[in-house]
Amino acid sequence: MTSTISSDKVHYLDLEISVNNGSIQYCLYTKPSDRNTILHATSAHPKALLKSLPKAQYLRVIRNNSNLEVMEKQITSMTQKFLNRGYPLDQLQEALHMARHNVAPT
């Protein structure tokens, strides 16, 4: 296990928490050694799980960001991870829309 000691930021679970101009900021944190291990779209898992996974991950990005610019970059990165794992773009766009508006799937 490695740790980084800093007087202005800390990594805790999947968050990076920092102080910027006296204000607490937070964003989603992934380790530099992180690989794209998102469940592949052609996995034999139940279809409902494969459909709900993108929305759940987008919600995670949205909730774990205090900075909108960082959030948008992380959404773009998350979308690319899903595309690399075989998820169709239209499914991802629908999941992102539902996450942004926090609506139930249809």
Q: Token digits for 47? A: 């279809």
Which among 67, 81, 58 has a CA at the least distance from the CA of 27?
67
Q: In the structure, what pLDDT confidence band is assigned to residue 2 with cuts at 50, 70 and 90?
A: low
Q: Give the separation between CA 75 and CA 69, rounded to whole angstroms.
A: 10
Q: Give the separation between CA 59 and CA 75, rounded to whole angstroms.
A: 10
pLDDT, tens only, 28-84 = 998 888 888 899 999 999 999 999 999 999 999 999 999 999 999 999 999 999 999
Q: In the structure, what pLDDT confidence band is assigned to residue 5 with cuts at 50, 70 and 90?
A: low
State the DSSP H helix or E strand holding residue 18, giving kind and residue range, or none if neither.
strand 15-20
Q: Token digits for 67? A: 């900075």
Domain ranges of the chain: 9-101
